[in-house]
Amino acid sequence: MPRSTQEWMRASLRTPGIFIFGLVMAPCGWILNLTSTVAPNWRTIHNLSGRPADEFLQQGIWDICRATSTNTREECNLQDTAYFGNQIIEVAQGLMVASLIVTLIGLAVAIPGIRCWRDRPNWVVAGLGGILIFLSGVMIIIPIAWYTHILEEIAPPPNTTDVRVGYCIILGYIGGIFEILGGFVMFIGICRCCGGKNRGEVRVDDVTSGRFGRQKPPPRRVEVPSLNRARSAVSSVPYARDSLDDDVSFPRAKSPAARSANTPYAGRPYDVDL
């Protein structure tokens, strides 16, 4: 009775590449997002009125610092009710913290599902972890993009025209993209696609029929010429001495010249001959 469904098997016991990619990108994105969340540099404001020319403000979602280009020491914990009362600040605080927590939950779910020490990973559990990581990346991109869009409208100090993007915005974009890519790639493992290559699997029928993998070519057959020689009745070798006169396909060494019968000593040489 023919089978109604295809049977698949893992080609190797190594961890699938989609899981390796996701487990590398997600922690890297989490570290970048953590830095973007706690660092007070979402935007910098220069050319403050009534302040020295080298002084500028660094504003984040939790703190505001004043610094100068000539001194590395910063003055933080500055109060700005108009700035922190803006809607984007409250939304960014909630989404950034929630994203960090969701990323950790996604990794906690995905790691047991991967089970690289077993034959078959739990693709559904690992895929759900990938969805959580993907959503955490989206939760990062939303406040970062919103803040960038209204960068100059978020309660700037009076008489200020030089507002610049801080490094937290850049780190947030990179971290969010890392998590989105890593989570999406891990989620691909829920469904088998690309002929099972995303899971590192092959069909059982292909293995049994020999269609999977590279087959070894048959050994090359070398034709060796054979010399059929008749055996001599008085010789123990496979050919007679007279057969050496026949035409052969290889050169033969010349036989030594015969001794002359007129020599006085036909036997062994004496010492005086030497």
Partners of residue 64 on adjacent β-strands: 59
Task: Tell me the residue type at 111.
Answer: I
Compute the CA torsion angle 233, 236, 242, 247 (nearest 10 deg): 120
Residue-level pLDDT at 32: 95
Residue-level pLDDT at 169: 93
pTM, rounded to two decimals? 0.65
Tokens 């890392």 sit on residue? 178
CATH architecture of 8-38+87-155+167-208: Up-down Bundle (1.20)
Backbone angles phi, psi at 158, to 5 degrees: -65, 150
Residue-level pLDDT at 162: 83
* Nearest Cα residue to 134 out of 232, 21, 227, 13: 21
Residue-level pLDDT at 171: 94
CA 56 from chain centre, in angstroms, equals 42
Per run of 10 residues, the mean pLDDT along the chain (length 274 residues) is 51 70 92 93 84 83 85 80 89 94 92 70 84 94 92 79 88 94 85 56 54 56 66 53 53 58 55 56
Residue-level pLDDT at 3: 45
In angstroms, what CA-CA distances link 31 with 26, 36, 105, 139, 180?
Answer: 9, 9, 15, 15, 14
Strand 43-46, strand 201-203: pairing:
unpaired
Residue-level pLDDT at 93: 92
How do residues 210-261 score in pLDDT, each as one tens digit?
A: 554 555 556 677 676 666 655 555 555 555 555 555 555 556 556 665 555 5
In the three-class reduction of DSSP (H, G, I as helix; E, B as strand; rest coil), residue 121 is classed as coil
- Sorted by where each begins, the domain ranges of the chain are 8-38+87-155+167-208
Tokens 């409250």 sit on residue? 90
